[in-house]
């Protein structure tokens, strides 16, 4: 039987099914369970608060135990940071106080109070549909919430140990703390019925270097423990109970894949040039300083997209100028002369930051978001721009405006930037006066006007995630129309090519920072269009360089350290 999902990695696994039956994550849309609910007439707020305190403490000990095992097995385990963030939820006084207030003030049980708090927090972070970092935070909260609920109701959260050798995990979904317990020595891959490629579970699967596919509905109902299974993550393909011929074919492909990966590892620190001498950068998409360090280690030739939203979320007030400055400065210093493109704040009506007091919108993806919001709130915009300018003297920072649709928006944004430069000059504060200023091409309106926009900016960055969904009117998060969402669609490709050619004709570089930049199908096509910079997920850096070097007209210029 054949299943099609979304490939998280480029690995192939041939193994046997091991089903994780109760691995579904917290469902923010589910109705509240009745289990462990207080019976009429016997409700005791004090008893419910005692249960909550005990469940929080038990959850904290469980996470600490998982972390100790992870670090004992691998002292440099990068996934430990993802799991460690959960400790903050169990120890956060604000979370505890708000949950207790639901018990005292609304008469909710501990179970219902935790579910309500988790639901609200998940909904907030899930509203950041185009931001993997924020989606990862939602996954952390859901994981922590489910752990607390399981400890309140007596359910088991941990994955059975040890798992059989040659295991391929099959589950409805996995939460990050469960993924962290997978033994790489015995687990070859994982397939889930739900999930997306930007979740922390997916990120962890990539760092573990196992074959992983998400979004394969109905698989759990058909698979049985011990079934043979093939996972071709590069194609998002799962073969359940394959025949001998398929096993033989994939055994050969697996050997070829391993040889190709070894080659890719040797080229990750290479710089790449076209035969005409023009350099092609392979940069990284990041959300924080930890990502930046990991990207540097993996051979990134700079940062093509620094999402700054992480500084603004999960807090009661906006980060001040100094806090933002420090984040940008440290990243600039890390990459030195390499370009670091900082996207200015991209939040909106669908991304609920309480201190911005944004009104609800019927269609937030077409509403007050990104540059529109910043222009409407210039004080917030100025703080961020000043922070970026001050940090620019420590490296090669570039400013990138998101969601530009009109020349008037770009003009106004540049005017505010000019005001910030004048204010810093007057105060005697140094900054790079020649800092590059670019814009994102992520709407059809921007792409169609690319030749005019190219005369007014220093670089383009094509955001294909939004460009694809706006061009095809297909929500990339909606599984019912997932088949429509395809960056290789001719209409999307036309707009990408036109934008790259507009940049080239004007003499400015073009970057592409959507998922398409690391897609093996798209890399040769984008290279042929003349793209100057591929900004990809960190784990795709080596593979992207390998594919580029396999193309005619590309060669290694030198090593990058």
Q: Report pLDDT digits (tens) over 13-68.
A: 999 999 987 644 455 444 444 444 444 456 788 999 899 989 988 888 888 887 77
Q: How many helices (H) and strands (E) does the chain have?
A: 20, 18
Q: What's the token pair of residue 307?
A: 């999402």
Q: Which residues pair with 283 in a beta bridge?
A: 535
Q: According to the per-residue pLDDT averaged within each range, which of 314-318, 446-450, 548-552 is highest? A: 446-450
What are the residue numbers of the active site? 200, 513
Across 195-210, average pLDDT: 71
Q: What is the pLDDT of residue 294?
A: 86
Nearest C-alpha neighbor of 333 from the set 386, 390, 405, 270: 390
Q: 171-185, 224-238, 354-368, 517-531: which has the minimum mean pLDDT?
A: 354-368
Pinpoint the residues of the chain covered by CATH 3.50.30.10: 167-262
Q: 51-55, 158-162, 278-282, 404-408: which has the minimum mean pLDDT?
A: 158-162
Q: What is the pLDDT of residue 24?
A: 46
Nearest C-alpha neighbor of 458 from the set 339, 333, 332, 336: 339
| Better-scored residue on pLDDT, 180 or 237 | 237
Across 227-232, average pLDDT: 96
Does residue 342 have a pLDDT over 90? Answer: yes
How would CATH label the architecture of 24-153? Orthogonal Bundle (1.10)
| Better-scored residue on pLDDT, 113 or 263 | 113
User: Do the beta carbons of residue 264 and residue 543 sit within 8 Å?
Assistant: yes
Q: What is the pLDDT of residue 128?
A: 59
DSSP 185: T
Q: Calculate the average pLDDT of the chain.
A: 84
Three-class DSSP category at 475: coil
CATH label, 167-262, candidates 3.50.30.10, 3.40.50.1820, 3.90.1150.10, 1.10.3720.10: 3.50.30.10
Across 500-528, average pLDDT: 94
Across 528-533, average pLDDT: 97
Q: How confident is the model at residue 8 (pLDDT cuts 50, 70, 90)?
A: confident
Does residue 349 have a pLDDT over 50? Answer: no
Q: What is the pLDDT of residue 481?
A: 72
Does residue 190 have a pLDDT over 50? Answer: yes
Q: What is the pTM of this model?
A: 0.66
Q: Report pLDDT digits (tens) over 99-141.
A: 888 898 888 999 999 998 888 888 777 665 555 555 556 767 8
**Rounded to an integer, what distance in angstroms lies between the CA atom of residue 359 and that of residue 212?**
39
User: Do the beta carbons of residue 303 and residue 331 sit within 8 Å?
Assistant: yes
Q: What percent of the chain has pLDDT over 70?
A: 82
Contacts 24+ apart (CB under 8 A), 351-354: 351/127, 351/128, 351/134, 351/309, 352/124, 352/127, 353/312, 353/313, 354/316
Q: Report pLDDT digits (tens) over 453-501.
A: 999 999 999 999 889 989 999 876 665 676 788 899 999 999 999 999 9
Pinpoint the residues of the chain covered by CATH 3.20.20.60: 268-559
Fold of 268-559: TIM Barrel (3.20.20)
Pinpoint the residues of the chain covered by CATH 1.10.274.10: 24-153
Q: What is the pLDDT of residue 85?
A: 67
Q: What is the pLDDT of residue 28?
A: 45
Nearest C-alpha neighbor of 204 from the set 80, 27, 23, 300: 80
For residue 162, whether the previous peptide bond is cis, meaning omega lies within 30 degrees of 0, is yes
Q: What's the token pair of residue 28?
A: 């923010």
Q: Which residues pair with 440 in a beta bridge?
A: 461
Q: What is the pLDDT of residue 243?
A: 95
**Rounded to an integer, what distance in angstroms lies between the CA atom of residue 323 and that of residue 318?**
10
Does residue 350 have a pLDDT over 50? Answer: no
């Amino acid at each position: 039987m054949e299943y099609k999902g979304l490939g998280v990695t480029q690995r192939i696994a041939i193994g046997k099914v091991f089903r994780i039956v109760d691995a579904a994550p917290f469902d923010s849309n589910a109705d509240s369970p009745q289990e462990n609910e207080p019976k009429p007439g016997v409700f005791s707020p004090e008893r419910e608060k005692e249960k909550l305190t005990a469940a929080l403490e038990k959850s904290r000990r469980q996470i600490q135990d998982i972390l100790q095992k992870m670090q004992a097995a691998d002292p440099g385990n990068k996934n430990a940071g993802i799991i460690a963030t959960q400790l903050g939820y169990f120890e956060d006084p604000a979370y505890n106080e708000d949950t207790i207030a639901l018990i005292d003030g609304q008469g909710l049980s501990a179970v219902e109070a935790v579910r309500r708090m988790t639901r609200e927090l998940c909904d907030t972070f899930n509203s950041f549909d185009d931001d993997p970092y924020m989606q990862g935070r939602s996954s952390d909260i859901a994981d922590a919430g489910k752990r607390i609920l399981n400890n309140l109701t007596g359910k088991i959260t941990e994955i059975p140990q040890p798992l059989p050798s040659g295991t391929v995990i099959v589950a409805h979904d996995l939460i990050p703390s469960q993924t962290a317990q997978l033994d790489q020595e015995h687990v070859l891959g994982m397939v889930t019925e739900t999930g997306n490629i930007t979740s922390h579970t997916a990120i962890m699967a990539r760092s573990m270097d196992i074959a992983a596919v998400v979004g394969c509905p109905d698989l759990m109902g058909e698979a049985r423990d011990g079934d043979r299974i093939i996972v071709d993550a590069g194609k998002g393909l799962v073969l359940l109970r394959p025949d001998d011929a398929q096993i033989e074919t994939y055994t050969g492909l697996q050997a070829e894949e391993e040889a190709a990966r070894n080659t890719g590892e040797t080229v990750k620190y290479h710089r790449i040039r076209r035969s005409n001498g023009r350099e092609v950068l392979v940069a990284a998409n990041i959300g924080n300083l930890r990502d930046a360090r990991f990207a540097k280690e993996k051979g990134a030739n700079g940062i093509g997209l620094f999402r700054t939203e992480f500084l603004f979320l999960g807090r009661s007030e906006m980060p001040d100028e100094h806090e933002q400055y420090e984040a940008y400065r440290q990243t600039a210093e890390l990459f030195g002369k390499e370009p670091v493109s900082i996207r200015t704040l991209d939040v909106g009506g669908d991304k609920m930051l309480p201190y911005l007091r944004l009104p609800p919108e019927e269609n937030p993806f077409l509403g007050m978001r990104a540059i529109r919001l910043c222009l409407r709130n210039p004080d917030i915009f100025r703080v961020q721009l000043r922070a970026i300018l001050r940090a620019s003297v420590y490296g090669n920072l570039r400013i990138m405006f998101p969601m530009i649709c009109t020349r008037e928006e770009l003009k106004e944004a540049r005017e505010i930037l000019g005001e910030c430069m004048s204010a810093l000059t007057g105060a005697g504060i140094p900054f790079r006066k020649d800092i590059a200023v670019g814009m994102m091409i992520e709407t059809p309106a921007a792409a169609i006007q690319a030749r005019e926009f190219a005369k007014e900016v220093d670089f383009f960055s094509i955001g294909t995630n939004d460009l694809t969904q706006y061009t095809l009117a297909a929500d990339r998060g909606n599984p019912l129309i997932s088949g429509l969402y395809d960056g290789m669609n001719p209409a999307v490709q036309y707009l990408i090519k036109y934008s790259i050619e507009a940049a080239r004709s004007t003499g400015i570089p073009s970057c592409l920072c959507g998922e398409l930049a690391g897609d093996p199908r798209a890399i040769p096509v984008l290279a042929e269009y003349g793209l100057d910079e591929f900004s990809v997920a960190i784990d795709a850096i080596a593979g992207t360089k390998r594919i580029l070097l396999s193309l005619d007209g590309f060669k290694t210029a030198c090593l990058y350290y």
